[in-house]
Amino acid sequence: MMPMDCNQMTGGMAMMIAMGLVWLLIVAVLILATAALVKYLRSGPR
């Protein structure tokens, strides 16, 4: 097994952090969309 140098290590960490942020963003958008839909449906017909 080859030892990873510092550059590969930070690259992998940055990738993981980026993926985590993307997932958080997707989850936040889904939650907001669900809340908006529920609010719209509860407001009743106009």
Task: For 1-46, write each residue's pLDDT tens digit.
Answer: 556 677 777 888 889 999 999 999 999 999 999 999 999 999 977 6
Give alpha helix (H) positions in 1-46: 6-43
> 37: which DSSP letter?
H
Largest CA distance in the chain: 66
Angle among Cα 29, 32, 35 to the nearest 5 degrees reads: 150
Q: How far is CA 16 from CA 8, 9, 19, 25, 26, in A?
A: 12, 11, 5, 14, 15
pLDDT of residue 42: 94
